[in-house]
């Protein structure tokens, strides 16, 4: 009797052990299913927003924030992303927040090549520009050329903030350009060379003849057509330092010269310009 009472009942004791083992396997299987099916979804969902509005861990690679449509977020023009609230910078601080925001940067204006060309011109430069006779200049882009070149028609005496500040007179004028409310005026003095031609308008004849010259113009001496406001082509015969009481009489090139000359005092009265009607 004593030996029977000290032992385990094979029918009941063994059944309980098997149930406990089965319960343990069920729990393990449930835990495994949770890890496989549920846990990855939580990590993936958290990963899509884990960098929004917080600093990245040291050494972490940043990723552009996403817009509601899933496209990479676009930083507004002129605002660096680090200046926007919620866009952290990787400083190793874990959950550190930006200490402040920067003021929006002033947009950089688009370059204006013409304005840059005007502002690059300096007093003493020479330009290949001239009055066409049609009410405009041959170019609006003042590119400097060597003052000894044949096409160096204008000498820049000064650079001013308005054309009204430039010297005015025979053989003088200005070329200006305004951009963004700022004007650059190039004060021009015509460079005359013997052998070149310019445009003029003659009224009357004989002793009553008058000649109005376009002193800033340049024209082909053999041009078959001229602008409507002109009817003569004048040939430059000489450019001299003006003597006292200068006149066309000082244009004679030889003793007894009977050529009909037309003359002007230019360059502030310091230069005598001598011309004649072009004969071909």
Residue pair 90/58 in contact by the 8 Å Cβ criterion: yes
Give the residue with greater pLDDT, 82 vs 97: 97
Q: What is the mean pLDDT of residues 45-59?
A: 33
Kindly report whether the global pTM for this prediction surpasses the value 0.95: no
- Evaluate if residue 279 carries a pLDDT over 80: yes
Is the pLDDT assigned to residue 204 strictly greater than 90?
A: yes
> For residue 187, what are the β-bridge partners?
158, 174
Angle at 113 between CA 107 and CA 119, to 5 degrees: 95
pLDDT value of position 31:
57
- Given a contact cutoff of 8 angstroms between Cβ atoms, the answer to whether 152 and 192 are in contact is no
Instruction: Give Cα separations from 178 to 102, 110, 120, 155, 185 (angstroms).
Output: 33, 15, 14, 21, 9
Q: pLDDT tens digits, residue range 135-167?
A: 999 998 998 999 999 999 999 999 999 999 999
């Amino acid at each position: 009797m004593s030996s029977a009472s000290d032992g385990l009942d094979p029918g009941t004791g063994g059944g309980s052990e098997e149930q406990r083992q089965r319960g343990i396997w069920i729990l393990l299987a449930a835990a495994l299913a949770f890890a496989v099916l549920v846990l990855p979804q939580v990590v993936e969902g958290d990963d899509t927003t884990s960098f929004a509005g917080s600093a990245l861990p040291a050494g972490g690679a940043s990723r552009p924030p996403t817009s509601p449509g899933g496209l990479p977020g676009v930083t507004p023009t002129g605002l660096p992303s680090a200046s926007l609230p919620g866009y952290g910078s990787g400083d190793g601080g874990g959950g550190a927040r930006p200490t402040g925001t920067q003021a929006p940067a002033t947009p950089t204006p688009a370059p204006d090549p013409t304005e840059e060309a005007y502002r690059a011109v300096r007093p003493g430069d020479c330009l290949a520009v001239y009055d066409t006779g049609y009410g405009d200049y041959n170019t609006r882009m003042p590119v400097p050329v060597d003052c000894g070149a044949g096409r160096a028609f204008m000498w820049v005496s000064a650079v001013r903030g308005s054309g009204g500040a430039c010297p005015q007179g025979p053989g003088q004028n200005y070329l200006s350009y305004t951009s963004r409310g700022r004007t650059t005026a190039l004060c021009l003095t015509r460079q005359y060379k013997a052998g070149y031609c310019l445009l003029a308008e003659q009224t009357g004849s004989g002793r009553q003849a008058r000649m109005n010259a376009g002193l800033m113009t340049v024209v082909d001496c053999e041009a078959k057509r001229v602008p409507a406001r002109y009817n003569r082509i004048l040939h430059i015969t000489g450019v001299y330092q003006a003597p006292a009481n200068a006149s066309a009489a000082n244009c004679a090139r030889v003793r007894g010269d009977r050529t009909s000359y037309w003359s002007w005092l230019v360059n502030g009265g310091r230069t005598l310009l001598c011309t004649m009607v072009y004969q071909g």
